[in-house]
A and B are shown apart, each in its own frame.
Chain A
């Protein structure tokens, strides 16, 4: 029994997989085959563990961790049969850089829906340099598969022998042929973009400057036609008032808001405007008619 290699691959490629195959032998290993032909029984992942939660019960805990890399998120599940990994997970304080060695898993609750996950063998918190090195390795591995898949797409049909002849390693060639048979002709540009994204992630010249304290959401803020500071100001005031008047937790009464707003120099018109804007932004809501509550 030769030990299965630990694949370095990005979450986005792994999560695209919906093919499971079995090896041979007495206790045949199972593999998750990705659209690029990575035939994965074991993975090695380094990313940011963003949250850990017990999705089981107190008596039978099942720890779920989300691990994000530059392209997506891995889901890691550890229960009673992975006692060491479960105990390591339960003690982590996210966010933290974490290295995970584990077995590939695929779960299909109904035809057409599949979820990939990792059943961990080893979990360890690491530093950023280990994570950066992992990204580089994942990029190299992805590049190899991209090159091999590009060769395969020139063949009709691609065969293991044909791929080995053009210099593709046998272990990779096998996965590629299985992938082509199952996924058909995959769009390589998507994975090329993923590769470039992974590489740029490592390079400071491509890093977007992020001001401290700013939320790091990708979606740009909606640009208002009238970027009025006044409106922002009154919204801020109204938000404060609503919070302050919400004494019993059921929300601030409309009359009280109007009264306090007037004393603080906010007209009824601009109050109504502000409340509408705050409702739109999802910063307040109306739990019962006539009362406003801060979210």
Chain B
């Protein structure tokens, strides 16, 4: 183990300008890997960040499996198979440009990719490529790999990678680590979770061109709720309490989620081991500073003030192909298209401890305005500008105390809540002030 880690310990100390001793780095790295069981890459980055260094200066890249990729990674090395590849012309900053896009696969999963710059080698379906210095983004809940100007792509022998087989993977060795739902962190593997299933449904997804069933839903313990995905049919039922051993944690835009497959062991437990579903299925109220620390959470409630509307609130037009909001009539990926109208609000919700971007969909926005999309289009036509809709929303929303409930995700730009429901906050200010004053006088 020690010899294996040595190059990485060197790499970390070098990235930190030799400020920290190798012994200390080795101890930390070993703790991250063996106690907290995060991936090597996550461990290296975390250690460098913790000591105030820049993780981008780490040199010894670790080839990741596609399933390990998170959104927002800056320097990713991969060995993957081209599952499909296509060409497309896009408009970028006024000019036209040819890009490649398609799907990458490895034994763990498949992921879409886009090559924004011409590649030195032609790519064809079935090729195995070694990719260095790619970066990842997230779009519509899925990680995407991007090849940019710094990315190197080289072909490898087709036998360098086994054919993609969904669900493949080696069984875990060693005892799983027991983790409570609130303590799930990205990158952890072989964990044991004791929880109640609150909901479960079967979905069909396409994995490498073949249909596959995934059983996903919500599970919870006393500390919180989380999404889960089971890649094997364990005949899970709502309300049952079980122990899942050998699960792993992925994040979807910052929200930790539990996944498990045929490597996991499921043990059914007594139903009264955990509080009933109604008690577990609440949306906990949280401070934004705590959400920022966790990186997001599923189904939480936040109270704060909508202090500003962001660009792109009100009446927007979306690309009919990818649903991106058009800028000046053009889609970032598909160029000039005929946009489809939609209503949305992107507002800054600030609770005094932190701020997040709250996104309200068409239905919620129509409710806030008490106006339909059609009425907004008509109003914008008459005023010859979509600003009227935005101004009306600003008038209703800005400076308003609200309570919003939804999923909170995170990326490089901070936290974002996809608002599920929201209401204007009515607080009995006098009662709360009286209580605080009594506390003050009592302690004086």
Query: Residues of A at under 8 Å CB distance from B?
Result: 1-8, 44, 46, 99, 101, 121-122, 124, 126, 129-130, 132-133, 135-137, 139-141, 143, 169, 171, 192, 195-196, 199-200, 202-204
Contact = CB atoms under 8 A, between A and B. Distances in A.
B350 A5 contact: yes
B20 interface: no
Contact of A44 (B350, B353, B427, B441): B350
Given A1-B413, A101-B307, A133-B401, A8 B436 contact: no
Nearest to A99: B399
B432 interface: yes
A132 B429 contact: yes
Contacts of B305: 6, 44
Given A99-B398, A122-B308, A199-B440, A136 B429 contact: yes
A42 to B, nearest CB: 8
Contact of B352 (A6, A46, A130): A6
Contacts of A8: 352
A192 B442 CA distance: 13
B352 A5 contact: yes
Contact of A130 (B288, B394, B401): B401
Nearest to B412: A1
Contacts of A135: 429, 433
Interface residues of B, number: 31
Contact of A5 (B353, B429, B430): B353
Interface of B: 288-289, 292, 305, 307-308, 348, 350, 352-355, 394, 398-401, 413-414, 425, 427, 429-430, 432-434, 436-437, 440-441, 444
B433 A203 contact: yes
Given A122-B308, A130-B399, A3 B436 contact: no
Among B354, B355, B399, B413, the one with the most A-chain Cβ atoms within 10 Å of its Cβ is B399
A124 B398 contact: yes
A44 B292 CA distance: 20
Given A3-B348, A8-B352, A203-B430, A139 B436 contact: yes
Given A5-B350, A202-B433, A46 B427 contact: no
Task: Determine chain B's interface SS by DSSP, over half rule.
Answer: mixed
A39 B434 CA distance: 28
Given A140-B436, A169-B289, A203-B437, A133 B352 contact: no
B289 A122 contact: no
B348 A136 contact: no
11 contacts: A3-B414, A5-B288, A6-B305, A7-B352, A122-B308, A122-B398, A139-B433, A196-B437, A199-B433, A199-B434, A202-B429
Nearest to A196: B440
Contacts of A121: 308
A5 B355 contact: yes
A289 B353 CA distance: 64
B437 A200 contact: yes
Counting from the closest, the 8 A-B pairs by CB-CB distance are A99-B399, A202-B433, A199-B437, A3-B355, A132-B429, A6-B350, A199-B433, A101-B307
Contacts of A3: 348, 355, 414
